């Protein structure tokens, strides 16, 4: 699969890059393909590459010393990942990247990224803008986790996922997400049991429809109400 410079324009950080820069990026990168459940990198690995997902779906997660995991973020095509470790020289990845389905990504050398950042203030600025949005999202999720009940957090997570996976998976009736109960639990800081109970409840109420590793949002507005704490 060959990538063209114009494909890279879909990457937010490269949206304002020149044709030359895009060419250059492609020249200094390779495609890596990773099968479902395999890994692009592990937390603690030396950050040699930064990635741009070209197909598939990847989750970024972090685990504590005793092995419990949290999901930090799900990556969709044309999103970057591994950029955090790649910015500082000789840094390590602060998270683990696992493919949720067969995926491939463009791997750009960190050292090359540094050169780009030095020579293109525009790309540096766009990357910085992306980072501020990450920080804000993490702060919001942190506040959620600290102050909101499970119900609200799960509703919020589903809404957020629906927004990120975007229009592409929209069916005539509802937005379809492909996550296991375990995945959702790790995103919201709870357990798969609680998620299962919650989803069953919402399905009974007709807000969603569920299946094995599948959640279809039928009435997103109802979820918004729950997220806002208006229920109960």
**One residue of 87, 150, 192, 218 binding a second copy per CB under 8 A:** 87
**One residue of 8, 22, 84, 162 binding a second copy per CB under 8 A:** 84
- Report yes or no: 97 and 82 within 8 Å, Cβ to Cβ: yes
**One residue of 2, 20, 90, 118 binding a second copy per CB under 8 A:** 118
CA-based torsion, 107, 163, 208, 205: positive or negative: positive
- Report yes or no: 185 and 192 within 8 Å, Cβ to Cβ: yes
Q: 27 CB contacts (<8 Å, ≥6 apart)?
A: none
Q: What letter does residue 46 receive in the DSSP assignment? A: B
Left (φ > 0), alpha (ψ -120 to 50) or beta: where does 81 sit?
Answer: beta
Per CB under 7 A, 180 contacts DNA? yes
Question: Given the rule CB under 8 A, which of 17-25, 49-57, 60-68, 158-166 is the region that contacts a second copy?
Answer: 60-68
d(CA 52, CA 75): 9
Per CB under 8 A, 147 contacts a second copy? yes
Question: Given the rule CB under 8 A, which of 129-137, 159-167, 175-183, 198-206 is the region that contacts a second copy?
Answer: 129-137
Per CB under 7 A, 104 contacts DNA? no
Q: Count Cβ atoms below 10 Å from residue 53 Cβ, excluding itself.
A: 22
DSSP 3-state assignment of 218?
coil
Tell me how far, at minimum, the Cβ of 224 lies from DNA, in Å: 18
Per CB under 7 A, 181 contacts DNA? yes
Where on the chain is the footprint of a second copy (CB under 8 A)? 62-66, 68-70, 72, 84, 87-88, 91, 94-95, 117-119, 121, 124-125, 127-129, 131-132, 134-136, 138-148, 189, 228-229
Where on the chain is the footprint of DNA (CB under 7 A)? 149-151, 180-182, 189-194, 196-197, 199-200, 203, 210-213
């Amino acid at each position: 699969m060959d990538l063209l410079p114009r494909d890279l324009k879909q990457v937010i950080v490269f949206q304002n890059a020149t044709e030359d820069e895009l060419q250059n990026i492609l020249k200094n990168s390779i495609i890596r393909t990773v099968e479902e459940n395999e890994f692009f990198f592990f937390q603690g690995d030396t950050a040699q590459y930064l990635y741009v997902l070209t197909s598939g779906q990847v989750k970024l997660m972090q685990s504590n010393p005793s092995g419990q995991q949290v999901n930090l973020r799900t990556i969709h095509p044309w999103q970057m990942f591994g950029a955090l470790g790649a910015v500082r020289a000789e840094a390590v990845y602060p998270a683990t990247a696992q493919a949720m389905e067969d995926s491939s990504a463009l791997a750009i050398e960190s050292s090359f990224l540094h050169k780009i950042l030095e020579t293109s203030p525009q790309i540096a600025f766009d990357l910085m803008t992306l980072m501020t949005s990450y920080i804000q999202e993490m702060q919001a999720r942190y506040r959620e986790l600290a102050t909101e009940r499970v119900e609200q957090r799960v509703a919020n997570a589903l809404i957020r996922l629906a927004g990120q996976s975007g229009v592409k998976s929209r069916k005539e009736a509802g937005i379809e997400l492909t996550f296991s109960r375990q995945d959702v639990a790790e995103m919201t800081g709870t357990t798969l049991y609680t998620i299962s109970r919650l989803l069953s409840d919402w399905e009974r109420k007709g807000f969603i429809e569920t299946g094995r590793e599948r959640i279809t949002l039928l009435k997103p507005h109802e979820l918004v109400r729950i997220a806002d704490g208006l229920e109960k």
